[in-house]
Amino acid sequence: MATRVQFENNNEVGVFSRLTNGYCLVGIGGSENFYSVFESELADHIPVIHTSIAGTRIIGRMCVGNSKGLLLPNTTTDQEMLHIRNSLPDKVVVQRVEERLSALGNCICSNDYVALTHTDLDRETEEIVADVLGVEVFRQTIAGNVLVGSYCVLTNQGGLVHPRTSVEDQDELSSLLQVPIVAGTVNRGSDVIAAGLVCNDWSAFCGLDTTSTEISVVESIFKLRNAQPSTIVTEMRSSLIDAMQS
């Protein structure tokens, strides 16, 4: 199920959190309500860890990970790295990366099997991504944007991409990633998908402004409520008719 949440009156929840099937990182300093929403949904299954990265709260944009590993920028302090490593399950590999494009969350998006990366990422970093996260790596753009981590949210169930992604590109990505891909928005029309949405295989959190139509797209593509694509079309049609009538 998808849950609406805000971080200190900010709808960009994907900027302040990183969610995988093995753990959840949440930026420190937010209101307690933000953490409690994550903890009530996740704490029975995976650890919810409060942390900063490189002294900032924008941890969702700074790191990238999946259930096997977590990559942090080289600006991460030793203390932060120690805290994260001690809080995570033992099977999760944590590694710092020497990379010019240090906002790893903007440049890489990954599930447990494949990763898309910024076209200018270092060859060495690409190898580290493949090694630590245990994934196949593809250099890719989404709707002409090199920041694949910002414009795509990916799980083992499916992927949501920038609304201007052509059908041909969606098909190409879908065959590359071996999961269904759909174009959409969050937070009432925002195209920066990963800033407004975090997802794993059984739960999702999106900004408070996200409309019910957007949520139904999210729940369908990520298979969060066994929603069928056909119900999306029906829901969309009825909400469009409502909008036209009002």
Number of H helices, E strands in the chain: 11, 15
Contact indicator for 106, 61 with CB cutoff of 8 Å:
yes
Contact 200, 180 (CB under 8 A): no
Give pLDDT, residue 94.
Answer: 95
pLDDT of residue 227: 41
Digit-coded pLDDT (tens) for 105-114: 999 999 999 9
Size of the chain in residues: 246
Model pTM? 0.87
Both structure tokens of 53: 């990265």
Q: What is the pLDDT along the chain (246 residues), one digit of tens a residue?
A: 788 999 988 899 999 999 999 999 999 987 778 888 999 989 899 999 999 999 999 999 999 999 999 999 999 999 999 999 999 999 999 999 998 998 999 999 999 999 999 999 999 999 999 999 999 999 999 999 999 999 999 999 999 999 999 999 999 999 999 999 999 999 999 999 999 999 999 999 999 999 999 999 999 999 987 644 455 455 556 665 666 665
pLDDT reported for residue 34: 86
50 three-state secondary structure: strand
Total Cβ atoms within 10 A of residue 241:
10
**Sheet order of strands, 181-183 included:** 152-154, 159-161, 181-183
Contacts of 69 (CB under 8 A, 6+ apart): 92, 93, 94, 95, 132, 133, 134
- What pLDDT does residue 235 have? 55
For the record, the structure tokens of 12 come out as 């960009």
**What are the backbone angles phi and psi of residue 129, rounded to the nearest 5°?**
-60, -50
Task: Give the DSSP H or E segment for 69.
Answer: strand 69-73
Instruction: Kindly report, residue by residue over 178-231, the tens digit of the pLDDT.
Output: 999 999 999 999 999 999 999 999 999 999 999 999 999 999 999 987 644 455
**Sheet containing 204-207, strands listed edge to edge, beginning at the edge strand earlier in sequence:** 2-5, 204-207, 197-199
Alpha carbon of 51 to those of 18, 27, 59, 72, 176: distances in Å? 11, 5, 8, 12, 33
Measure the CA–CA gap between 126 and 95, rounded to whole angstroms: 13
The C-alpha atoms of residue 162 and residue 222 are separated, in whole angstroms, by 16
What pLDDT does 31 receive? 73
The pLDDT value given to residue 228? 46
Nearest Cα to 221, choosing from 186, 188, 189, 246?
186
Burial group, residue 9, by CB count within 10 angstroms (0-12, 13-18, 19+) = exposed
Cα separation, 100 vs 94, in Å, equals: 19
Q: Is-contact 125 60, C-beta < 8 A?
A: no
